[in-house]
Amino acid sequence: MSLDAVLSRISEIRSQIDTLQSGTATTSSAATAASSADSSSAFAAALAATGTGTTATSTAAPATSVDAGQGTVATGSGATGDDVVADAKKYLGVPYVFGGTTTSGMDCSGLVQTVFKDLGVTMPRVVPDQAKMGTEVGSLADAQPGDLIIPKGEGHVVIYVGDGKVLHAPHPGKDVRIVDNWYKDSDIATIRRIVPSAQDAAATKATAATAATSAAGSATDLQTAALMSLLQSGSAA
């Protein structure tokens, strides 16, 4: 293979790598398809020569729905448990009104539905349905800000705000307020996490950043291996 041919092939491979890294595929013409086939062959040959062929593995992607679901957190809105607490605090002082969902008055489940609606997450209206949404948290010790605590009987719901405190709409004659949590684990039917906790969201971002760095490194390794293989074949020609 002549030096010109090697340089031409290198240019093709670089173009192919740029296409893969940008997440776009160009298959509009037979010439492009032929170029892709040549480049793929070069990559395969390079991997075989360097013994770096591996089987890709993947993990289940998190739910991306903005609707609260059963057994999964809603990640599509980008909201976290801290956002739930911050939004709920906007309603402090709103009077309790049975069936209410506005600043003129709201009940406990109306408050919960309204807060999540503000954040772009669809939640059912009544406590028994809300108690089925999201993922279950094992105990109060594991609760994070933004989690919902539903007592046995499912007649009430409160929002955990952290530091042993909850925010809720108590009952007629009272308004939305933050108080010390009075529930014990033995009093609780379920604790539900509807959106990721701030801690979980931060961990997910860190994992994604690490994966992106690793992918970039792998692409560079593939490019180097392919170029070396072509240069070696050109020297032997």
For residue 95, the domain's CATH number is 3.90.1720.10
Q: What is the pLDDT of residues 85-124, one digit of tens each?
A: 999 999 999 999 999 999 999 999 999 999 999 999 999 9
pLDDT surpassing 90 at residue 23: no
Annotated catalytic residue within 42, 85, 88, 108 = 108
pLDDT (mean) for 160-188: 98
Q: Over the chain, what is the mean pLDDT? A: 80
Same domain for 86 and 188, yes or no, is yes
Same domain for 161 and 219, yes or no, is no
Domain presence at residue 66: no
CA–CA distance, 96 with 78 (Å, rounded to integer) = 29
CA–CA distance, 36 with 24 (Å, rounded to integer) = 13
Computed from CA positions of residues 156, 89, 99, 76, in that sequence, does the dihedral angle turn out positive or negative?
Answer: negative
Same domain for 188 and 221, yes or no, is no
Annotated catalytic residue within 43, 87, 145, 168 = 168
Same domain for 231 and 161, yes or no, is no
Domain presence at residue 14: yes
Catalytic, 168? Answer yes
Same domain for 117 and 161, yes or no, is yes
Domain presence at residue 61: no
Same domain for 153 and 91, yes or no, is yes
Catalytic, 108? Answer yes
- The bridge status of strand 101-102 relative to strand 158-162 is unpaired
pLDDT surpassing 70 at residue 125: yes
Beta strands (DSSP E) in the chain are 101-102, 105-106, 135-136, 148-151, 158-162, 165-168, 177-180, 188-193
Residues 6+ apart with CB under 8 A from 121: 66, 67, 68, 74, 77, 79, 194, 195
Overall pTM surpassing 0.95 (yes/no) = no
Domain presence at residue 201: no
Total number of domains constituting the chain: 2
Annotated catalytic residue within 89, 156, 165, 177 = 156
Which range marks the domain in which residue 31 is found? 3-52+210-236
Residues 6+ apart with CB under 8 A from 221: 52
